[in-house]
């Protein structure tokens, strides 16, 4: 990988880590489902007017959007709103890697290799360590919501594998468009009409949060990551995703003062070690054609 592309990969993971700070700031004045709807709505429009739909079945594109928007980010933002530390969330949600391996085995009969199974087990032990230690004062309910968000992200990854090779930016834009109306409806049902109240006179924090999540995070980072995956094998690029929780934990600690504790460091180390093993197992198992197909983003936080 060239120095320029290596710096681009580091920029992507930095943006994705900082996105957790943006989520934390936005949730101060906007309810989670409404914030999620705004994030995907602005990511979709006006981009959908300029980018053609991906060459894929509409049901799969909509399913991808729902898994990503309603499932992953709906649960993630709700968890953070109800007390889950944003930095810790950026770490725990990475268990999507072993979840993806397990779902691909169940749905697409892609039998995992030994290292992938071992890595997944170690990562789940790390999750248990964080849960038992209740890192950063995280309530159990929101912590479980983040685990559910990781499962939804894994579902989105499996849908991407079913879709195959398409324009990934188009998939993100039109998937964002598909998930926006359901998120708005769920917000009005669950959060009530009051969810719209903060939009009449939005704070600068809310505006900045939505803008950062919609454009640098969803479109710029995704576009750069997809570009890297078109030029290099996935096994070369995907290990950079391990830096996302590092950036997330450090940025939320430095910017919003979220605490670091021993159980976060120990559990986090186990999670990252397990994910690294799982990625290594996938790398040794993949043939060139399989590597070319593995083009999902590390995290669109």
Residue 137 has what pLDDT?
Answer: 65
Predicted pLDDT of residue 291:
44
Please state, in angstroms and as integers, the Cα–Cα distance from residue 47 to each residue in 181, 214, 262, 276, following that order: 16, 11, 43, 35
Specify if 25 maps to a domain: yes
Tokens representing 118?
């071992």
* Number of folded domains that form the chain: 1
How far apart are alpha carbons 33 and 73 in whole angstroms?
Answer: 8
What is the helix (H) or strand (E) element at residue 58, kind and residue range?
Answer: helix 58-66
In a domain, 37, yes or no: yes
For 93, the domain range is 3-293
* 81 domain-assigned: yes
- Does 145 reside within a domain? yes
CA distances from 182 to 37, 185, 190 (A): 8, 5, 12
Q: What pLDDT, on a 0 to 100 scale, did the predictor assign at position 4?
A: 86
pLDDT of 289: 45
Does 121 map to a domain?
yes
The span from the CA of 174 to the CA of 299, in Å, is 17
Residue 236 lies in a domain: yes
| 176 within domain boundaries | yes
Rounded mean pLDDT for each run of 10 residues along the chain, 301 residues in total: 83 89 93 95 92 93 94 95 88 81 78 74 74 67 92 88 84 94 95 83 90 91 75 66 79 82 74 74 53 49 64
Handedness of CA 37, 43, 48, 52 (dihedral sign): negative
**pTM, to two decimals:** 0.82
Residue at 298 is within a domain: no
Tell me the helices (H) and strands (E) count for the chain, helix number first.
Answer: 17, 0
């Amino acid at each position: 990988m060239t120095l320029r592309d290596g710096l681009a990969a580091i920029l992507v993971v930095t943006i994705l880590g900082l996105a957790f700070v943006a989520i934390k700031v936005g949730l101060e004045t906007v309810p989670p489902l409404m914030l999620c709807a705004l994030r995907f709505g602005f990511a979709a429009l006006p981009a959908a007017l300029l980018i053609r739909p991906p060459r894929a079945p509409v049901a799969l594109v909509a399913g991808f959007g729902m898994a990503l928007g309603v499932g992953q980010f709906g649960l993630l933002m709700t968890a953070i709103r109800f007390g889950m530390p944003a930095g810790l969330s950026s770490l725990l949600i990475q268990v999507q890697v072993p979840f993806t391996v397990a779902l691909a085995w169940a749905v697409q009969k892609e039998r995992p290799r030994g290292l992938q199974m071992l890595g997944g087990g170690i990562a789940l032990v790390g999750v248990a360590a964080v849960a038992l230690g209740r890192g950063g004062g995280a309530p159990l309910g929101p912590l479980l919501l983040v685990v559910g968000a990781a499962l939804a992200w894994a579902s989105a990854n499996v849908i991407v594998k079913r879709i195959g090779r398409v324009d990934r930016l188009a998939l993100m834009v039109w998937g964002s468009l598909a998930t926006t109306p359901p998120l708005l409806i769920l917000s009005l049902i669950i959060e009530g009409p009051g969810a719209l109240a903060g939009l009449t006179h939005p704070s600068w924090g809310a505006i900045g949060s939505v803008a950062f999540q919609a454009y640098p995070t969803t479109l710029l980072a995704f576009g750069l990551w997809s570009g890297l995956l078109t030029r290099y094998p996935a096994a070369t690029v995907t290990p950079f995703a391990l830096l996302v929780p590092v950036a997330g934990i450090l940025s939320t600690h430095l910017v919003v003062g979220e605490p670091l504790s021993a159980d976060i460091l120990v559990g986090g180390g186990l999670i990252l070690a397990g994910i690294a093993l799982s990625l290594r197992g996938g790398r040794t198992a993949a043939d060139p054609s399989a590597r070319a197909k593995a083009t999902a983003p590390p995290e669109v936080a």
